[in-house]
Amino acid sequence: MNSFESRSASATAIWVAMISVYITWGSTYLAIRFAVQTMPPFLMAGFRFLLAGSILYLWRRWSGDERPRLVHWRSAAIIGLFLLLGGNGGVVWAEQRVVSGVAALLVGATPLWMVLIDWVRGVYRPALPTLAGVLVGFVGIALLIGPAELIGLHGAIDPLGAAVLVLASFLWAAGSLYSRNASLPSSPLLATGMEMLTGGLALAALGTLSGEWARLNLAAVTWPSWLGLGYLVVFGSLVGFTAYTWLLRVAPTTLVSTYAYVNPVVAVVIGNLLADEPLTLRVVLSTVVIVGAVALITFTRPLGKRKTPSASPVESA
């Protein structure tokens, strides 16, 4: 069982990891956009995680980490399916249809799902400000999408892409909460490599089943796509994802989840500066609303009444 109470980490180490997640993941939305311009999304994501996972796994096994047991692989596969296939896979697919800043804002609703999932599971009863934050957060998402965009006017945010992003954020939240108490190797780096390997394999399989190999033309892949893929492997996976999975072990969920409202700000600014993505008044207003909602949830959640958690559908999977 992995619980952050059973492990100690310095405040400096935790904040270094948090800042690395803030910066690397806030910038990966634009990297994904460049990568999927000339690469099929699921094969691209599958290769990204298979490569990063192989590096981590082989390094840690060569360094002497104990061989993982079958139960460890089972837990890693569940986490990989929820976080990487459902969460990241949904994002890379949706970024063919929406700009990176919008993707980051919708995925920024992940802590809202964490509150609702824990509430349904009976882990804790959220305080009134937390419930208000959930409501305000979904108002922010509605403001971002807007009625005009839903009916398909010029320049609209694609509704299917937006829906997939909302689902991806839910699956990411569920997988993150499951990982808190999952049976995994004691080495966070080895466990992260296993999660990447299983998730990457699932993404590659999905790409194969959806016929992406027929659409892959290596000669047509542009250098921005190669650079985007390289950035995702090194910074998005080896740095960002490794830091995130370590934080889930040693830091409170309320702190770890703050990445969700810092990343959208980073993504929108970088997308505007480097890719000329639109920074409209509605996007700015929805950013303020969503960031405010998630911050409200994060900083009021400890006031909620906690109870002994009951078995959840995710944990019993």
Distance CA 120, CA 138 (A): 18
The answer as to whether 86 is a domain residue is: yes
- For the chain, the first-to-last Cα distance in angstroms comes to 16
User: Is residue 312 included in any domain, yes or no?
Assistant: no
Q: Domain for residue 133, yes or no? A: yes
Query: 5 and 247 in contact (C-beta within 8 Å)?
Result: no
| Domain presence at residue 314 | no
- Rg of the chain on CA atoms, in Å: 19
pLDDT value of residue 248: 87
| Residue at 44: amino acid letter | M
Domain assignment present for residue 186? The answer is yes
Q: Which domain holds residue 10?
A: 4-306
Residue 275 within any structural domain of the chain: yes
Angle made by CA atoms 173, 94, 317, in degrees to the nearest 5: 35
d(CA 144, CA 163): 12
pLDDT at 281: 83
Helix (H, G, I), strand (E, B) or coil at 183: coil
Tens-digit pLDDT string for the chain (317 aa) = 444 444 557 888 998 999 999 999 989 888 988 999 999 999 999 999 999 999 999 999 999 999 999 999 999 999 999 999 999 899 888 888 887 667 777 887 788 888 888 888 877 777 788 788 878 887 887 777 666 654 444 456 788 998 999 999 999 999 999 998 899 999 999 999 999 999 999 999 999 999 999 999 999 999 999 999 999 999 999 999 999 999 988 887 777 888 887 887 788 778 888 877 777 887 788 888 888 887 787 676 543 344 443 333 333 23
| Domain contains 313 | no
